[in-house]
A and B are shown apart, each in its own frame.
Chain A
Amino acid sequence: MSSETKQILTTDGIPLEVSLKKAEKKNKIRAFLLVAPLLLFLIITYIFPIGEMFMRSVDDRMVTNMLPKTFKAMEKWENLEELPSEEVYRAFYEDYKLLVENQQHGKLGQRLNKEKNGFNTITKKLFRQIKRKKIDESASLKEQINKIHKRWRNVEFWQAIKRTAPPYTAAKYLKGVDMYLAADGSIAQVDEDRRIHRILWLRTLEIAFFVTLFCFFMGYPIAHLLATLPMKYSNLLMICVLLPFWTSLLVRTASWMILLQQQGIVNDFFVMIGLVADDNRPEMMYNKVGTYVAMTQILLPFMVLPLYSVMKTISPSLMRAGKSLGGTPFVAFWKVYFPLTIPGIGAGCLLVFILAIGYYITPALVGGASGTLISNQIAFHMKTTLDWSFASAMGLMLLTGVLVIYWIYNKLVGVDNIKLG
């Protein structure tokens, strides 16, 4: 039997297989075209800019472009413990003169000053000498430059220039974890009293972890109650969860600021029941306590809703069966009910954790100095110090952490299972 006789043909004489494949392809293209507008929009306005953040965080081409001749000449500089040759000095002088002509020399001074303290002073001195035309280009430039300031005779400053040669650097990432590239190229720790970023990372993790824990212990009982009560009561109680969920974040933060202030209602209550003295009211805002309380209340609905949607599907007869087989209510709960709610626990905890780790508004308003998180630091560098490359580096470190958690979430629960409301 030949293969042609086996083929089934459609009415217009095309083999069925080919025809089906064609239809399949057409459907694929149609589906893709529907997704394409949003996908393109997001790639252009969102995914690429995140990539740009990465470029910005490692980009160090400014100096590379400013001192091309210097770095070329420095390739031949072998003994790094000795001052470089006349050639390097001449190349640097020529590069710098060009920068002076284009009025770019200030930027270079500032950038080199970050690499080695005191650089800005000596580049400014060199600038003045050039402006006054006091440098004789036919004589030895090494001698003349060395005479301008004693730091030019210090080899460490020339090493600093050489360190800026690579167009890309991981320095911002190291700074994010309180480390830096030492003069000899090794990675070193900053002084103990200046390690602020590591404290912030740890605090962010700590707050996110405890907020998740509080949300779990508060959310589990009420999700259970909502799932087991008759509809007409549970619908009413559900409003208590959904109304905060739909209310503006700033409104909820504002209400906590009123409640927690020193003359606020919570303190009034503590005084009334005699827990604290009236003249010794504790500070509950602008510290960690405020951040914990406000964030727990704000993120609680994100714990309750996934738990509720899982608990709703658990048949009450399972608990009854457990009890009728001789388990006490506790055993029945622990061995039957609890394991069935684990998908909901995973979803709720990871959702709350992801949201808490990137929180910005609430800590900034009620956190004070000891309650601020890594996001606040990123915003600070974006808006105040304008060190955008450092802000980008910190942002991407945070993003990596979140993506790892998201990946676990996806493996455990599946992104498609996110339920809203």
Chain B
Amino acid sequence: MALPSYTETRYRIWHYIYIAICTFVFFFLIAPLFVIFPLSFNAEEFLVFSEGMKNLDPDAFSLRWYKDMVYGTKNPWGLAAKNSFIIAIFATIGSIILGTLAALGLSSRHMPYKGLIMATLISPMIVPLIISGVAIFFFMAKAGLAATHTGIVLAHIILGTPFVVITVTATLSGFDHSVTRAAASLGSNPVNTFMKITLPLILPGVISGGLFAFVTSFDEVVVVLFLAGLENTTIPIQMWTGLREQLSPTILAVATCLILLSTLILVSAELLRRRSERLRGINR
């Protein structure tokens, strides 16, 4: 952002103020995440930087809390991680199937009451989570699914489908429908056309919607707090309990792992977005 040489001094000053503000905001956004890294390697129990850490003394750092996270006898993280992954994977599969089908229907120009149906389908994203939590809890309690994995998976499908519907609808908006007609005219049946033609083209949208659904489920705590029993504890619930009771360095070790996971998801989402834009021929 070099300024042209003829810029007047006062605009020059404004420009530097602008850059300073932007730097501050970027710092504000990203810096909090980086506090967690060093503190999770703290050899001591306190959540502050010890003198040893400030002097980069190797003895002040340790993997103690990571060991505690994995091997700690009283730690529920193993069960929580297992539950979280099982629930998130099934919720993602459910969201992808239901969401993609619905998006295909919604993108058809023959769809009646499109606006109303779209509003209904993405309502779980708009309604505050606490209200969704109360409503879903009432349903699951009545259906006898409270405190079961099935109940939580269904709840997360409700919360995850709007993301799939939105991303797949967006992918389909640039979709050239003549290719499916071409396939049909060449004698392909609808299922075959979908599997061979449509699906590969909309796949980036489906997967990125799936990533959203996965993260939503993996990170969801409000609804799970209403639904989960002791057996269905998840990582977010354990973190929530830990943060409420006592902030221990083990939580920071878990948090570090979660940041690494989200970095992985961010990279895949970015790659998918670019691939999708390339496939749809959007050039920037």
Which A residues have a C-beta under 8 Å from some C-beta of B? 24, 27-28, 30-39, 41-50, 52-53, 56, 218-219, 221-222, 225, 228-229, 231, 237, 239-244, 246-259, 261, 263-265, 297, 300-301, 329, 354, 357-361, 364-365, 375, 378-379, 382-383, 388, 391-392, 395-396, 398-399, 402-403, 406, 410, 415-416, 418-421
Contact = CB atoms under 8 A, between A and B. Distances in A.
A397 B118 CA distance: 23
B1 A248 contact: no
Given A249-B219, A250-B219, A410-B119, A52 B138 contact: yes
A420 B212 contact: yes
B136 A45 contact: yes
A402 B212 CA distance: 23
A38 B121 contact: yes
A403 B132 CA distance: 14
A258 B247 contact: yes
A415 B255 contact: no
30 contacts: A28-B112, A31-B110, A34-B108, A35-B102, A37-B102, A38-B101, A41-B157, A42-B161, A45-B136, A49-B136, A49-B138, A50-B131, A53-B131, A53-B134, A53-B138, A218-B28, A225-B18, A243-B30, A243-B259, A248-B219, A249-B221, A252-B32, A254-B36, A257-B247, A258-B35, A360-B128, A379-B133, A398-B128, A416-B118, A420-B212
Contacts of B26: 222, 237, 240
Given A31-B110, A34-B104, A420-B166, 4 more contacts: A39-B117, A42-B120, A257-B243, A375-B128
Given A28-B111, A250-B239, A360-B130, A37 B101 contact: yes
Contacts of B135: 46, 49-50, 52-53, 395
Interface stretch (B56-64, B66-74, B261-269): B261-269
Nearest to A399: B131
Q: Counting chain A CB atoms within 10 Å of each CB, which of B36, B134, B166, B255 scores highest?
A: B134
B186 interface: no
The 10 closest A-B pairs by CB, nearest first: A358-B128, A34-B105, A35-B105, A31-B108, A49-B135, A27-B110, A255-B32, A38-B102, A49-B139, A38-B98
A360 B136 contact: no
A173 to B, nearest CB: 15
B130 A39 contact: no
Given A31-B108, A39-B120, A251 B22 contact: no
B47 A261 contact: yes
Contacts, number: 263
Given A32-B105, A258-B35, A395-B131, A247 B163 contact: no
B175 interface: no
B204 to A, nearest CB: 12
A251 B105 contact: no
Contact of A248 (B39, B132, B258, B269): B258
A233 to B, nearest CB: 9
A392 B118 contact: no
A375 B11 CA distance: 46
A400 B98 CA distance: 28
Contacts of B49: 265
Contacts of A251: 33, 36, 239, 255, 258-259
A297 B102 contact: no
B98 A37 contact: yes
B86 interface: no
B255 to A, nearest CB: 4
Contacts of B165: 38
B210 interface: no
A35 B111 contact: yes
Contacts of B79: none
Nearest to A255: B32
B48 interface: yes
Interface in B197-226: 208, 212, 215, 218-219, 221-222, 225-226
Given A49-B135, A49-B139, A254-B255, A415 B161 contact: no
